[in-house]
Amino acid sequence: MPERVSRKRSKRDSQKKDLDRFEGELAKREFRVAIFGSARIKRNDALYKKIYTLGRMLGERNIDIVTGGGPGLMEAASKGHKAGSAKTNAHTIGLNIKLPREQEFNPYLDFKKEFYTFSARLDSFMQLSNAVVVAHGGVGTLLEFFYTWQLEQVEHICHIPIILFGPMWRGLVSWLKSQPLRRGYFDKKDLANIYHAESCSRVIEIIDKT
């Protein structure tokens, strides 16, 4: 058998095993927190360290996390969670997206799955998660926030806390209230599960009340 064909078959078999493990994890009814955030944040950034701390705190509480599985803040959360869950049974799950510039899985994942469309990936996030933390990020992170909020607003998912984490979100929260809410484009009750937090302890406090 040519070496290239053998490598492809080996990769396909590995992906099948990962998929089977992922489907088994999906079937479990455990508490999980999704953490969204930028892939561009470097390891020496203060925000990377803060998300690492949040991941560690969740791991210590035996709470699973779900991230995009890539670098940046996704890696920070997974790495911290791995350290915090050393004495618990908590898992870190990575849901990656196949892009033209391929985003590699980070090495701190217990379960991983790759998707070809954002919609299927986001739906899996919603199936798995009981709370959502939205850290600093760009277009992808904004998509994840608004997709979650939209599904909750129209009751396609249960009401779960959506926690905007970090100072970047102050302006957005203010704008949501001063513009679309004031103009009547959504109701005040639609903000009931939107929280803003700037410390890991505040995020944990909100999650503990869920």
Give the closest residue to 169 by CA, choosing from 158, 160, 177, 180: 177
Quick one: pLDDT at residue 103? 74
Region 88-103: mean pLDDT is 86
Q: What is the pLDDT of residue 28?
A: 66
Distances (CA, A) of 84 to 13, 43, 91, 117: 31, 18, 10, 31
pLDDT at position 10 is: 58
Beginning with the edge strand found earlier in the chain, give each strand of the sheet holding 194-197 in spatial order. Answer: 111-115, 92-97, 64-67, 32-36, 131-134, 162-165, 194-197
- pLDDT-derived band of residue 100, with 50, 70 and 90 as boundaries? confident
Task: Tell me, rounded to whole angstroms, the distance of Cα 131 from its chain centroid.
Answer: 9
Residue of 77 and 21 predicted with greater confidence: 77
Measured distance CA(61)–CA(205) in Å, rounded: 12
pLDDT in tens, 148-160: 999 999 999 999 9
Tell me which of 103-112, 127-136, 181-190 is least confident. Answer: 103-112
In this prediction, residue 146 carries a pLDDT of 98
Domains of the chain with CATH codes:
30-208 (3.40.50.450)
Cβ 200 vs Cβ 155: under 8 Å:
no
pLDDT above 80 (res 8): no
Between 23 and 189, the higher pLDDT residue: 189
Average pLDDT over residues 3-11: 52
Number of neighbours of residue 188 by Cβ within 10 angstroms = 8
Q: Give me the pLDDT at residue 25, please.
A: 62
In this predicted structure, the answer to whether residue 4 has a pLDDT above a threshold of 80 is no
Res. 9: pLDDT tops 80: no
pLDDT band, residue 5 (cuts 50/70/90):
very low
CA atoms of 43 and 155, how far apart (whole Å): 37
- pLDDT at res. 98: 86
Q: Backbone phi, then psi, for 96, in 5-degree steps?
A: -85, 160
Query: Which of residues 24 and 126 earns the better pLDDT score?
Result: 126
Q: What is the pLDDT of residue 40?
A: 94
Q: Which of 46, 33, 101 is nearest to 73 (CA)?
A: 46
